[in-house]
Amino acid sequence: DAGVTQSPTHLIKTRGQQVTLRCSPKSGHDTVSWYQQALGQGPQFIFQYYEEEERQRGNFPDRFSGHQFPNYSSELNVNALLLGDSALYLCASSYGLVAKNIQYFGAGTRLSVL
């Protein structure tokens, strides 16, 4: 049973560019959350998708957008990249909205903005 998978593992972009990160949830999971983790900090919640809709959003600008597909996989898009967007981007999946809040994380995508 595959866990949460993310691609790519590493990515290098320049300021002003756009990037798309991808996530496949754990088998049987239908909810996907995205987090940003700067060096030396804990992960910060970006947003969550359920039934192909953005259900909840953290304190991130609308340069950060996402999408969930019918197979529950998800994409995170970041436009007009800034140097400060350099971070580890984590995807987490869970099942439903009423289950206790156990989220399963992928290994992340390391984004470097030059």
Partner 1 sequence: DAKTTQPPSMDCAEGRAANLPCNHSTISGNEYVYWYRQIHSQGPQYIIHGLKNNETNEMASLIITEDRKSSTLILPHATLRDTAVYYCIVSPGGADGLTFGKGTHLIIQP
Q: Quote the least distance from Cβ 100 to partner 1, whole Å.
A: 5
Is residue 58 near partner 1 by the rule CB under 8 A? yes
Q: Quote the least distance from Cβ 4 to partner 1, whole Å.
A: 7
Is residue 60 near partner 1 by the rule CB under 8 A? no
Is residue 24 near partner 1 by the rule CB under 8 A? no
Segment contacting partner 1 (CB under 8 A): 11-19, 63-71, 72-80, 94-102? Answer: 94-102
**Residues 29/33/34/39 CA torsion (nearest 10 deg):** -90
Task: Give every CB contact of residue 62 below 8 A, 6+ residues apart in sequence.
Answer: none
Q: Which of these, 61, 62, 74, lies nearest to 21 by C-alpha position? A: 74
Nearer residue to partner 1 within complex by CB, 2 or 100: 100
